[in-house]
Amino acid sequence: MTTLKTGEKTPKSGTAQKDKKPFKLSLQQKNWVLSFHIGFATLWTGAVLSMFLIAFRNKDTANPDILFALNSVINLLDDFVVIPSAIGSVITATSLCWQTNYGFFKFYWVITKWVLSTALIVFGTFCLFPWANEATAISSTAGLRSFQNPIYSFDAIGVLLGTLIQVLFLFVIVGISVLKPWGRRATKEKQAKPSAAS
């Protein structure tokens, strides 16, 4: 039997050492991260909603200068609000999952949020971003003749419908964050406990 000498500390179990994080945020720091996360999500949702409303207003524009200006504003919002706020939302979400008991794959609602957020970012990067850029470029040279351009029509409709889809799914993500509708995933450890007890 192993005995401990006076003043010698009891060795920690392997499980405790494994679960211990190398860096841990304080409660106040976690609240700050959560506040930034909510702020980034609000910016992201508000900017995409603004892009949708501008695109909706722009579909019947009779002034070529306004057509180009509104397309430029959509681009501006995408470049300087949507993209940074989406990145900030992902960074703060990663920090919260890492530093809290929610984890990355413990709860179905957390996994759903990750899947939806990733899908929105991929869609925005490879669809909305090029559509908005191309629509702005065409309207800057063609003016109102842009409406007769099938490429512009496709891009403009894509931005309109794409931003609407993004807004709806961002509201779904917010609802999931508040309601947390699905429970915890069954892990191997939890499944093993009843077996050990029996």
Arithmetic mean of pLDDT, 131-139: 97
Q: Specify the pLDDT at position 191.
A: 52
Report which of 57, 37, 191 is spatially closest to residue 110, judged by C-alpha positions.
37
CB 28 within 8 A of CB 98: no
Structure-block tokens of residue 80: 């300087």
Read off the amino acid at residue 55: A
Structure-block tokens of residue 136: 């702005």
Phi, psi of 50 (to 5 degrees): -65, -40
CB 135 within 8 A of CB 159: yes
Least confident of 13-17, 55-59, 91-95, 169-173: 13-17
Give the tens place of pLDDT for each residue, 167-192: 999 999 999 999 999 888 876 655 55
Helix (H) or strand (E) holding 129: helix 129-142
The pLDDT > 90 percentage for the chain reads: 75
CB 89 within 8 A of CB 41: yes
CA 39/CA 25 separation, integer angstroms: 19
Which residue did the predictor score with more confidence, 6 or 78? 78
CA 187/CA 195 separation, integer angstroms: 13
Q: DSSP code of 8?
A: P
For residue 119, what pLDDT band results from cuts at 50, 70 and 90? Answer: very high
For residue 67, what pLDDT band results from cuts at 50, 70 and 90? Answer: very high
Report which of 132, 34, 116, 35 is spatially closest to residue 82, judged by C-alpha positions.
132
Quickly list DSSP for 134-172.
Answer: HHHHHHHHHGGGGGG-HHHHHHHHHHHHHHHHHHHHHHH
CA 161/CA 44 separation, integer angstroms: 17
CB 75 within 8 A of CB 130: no
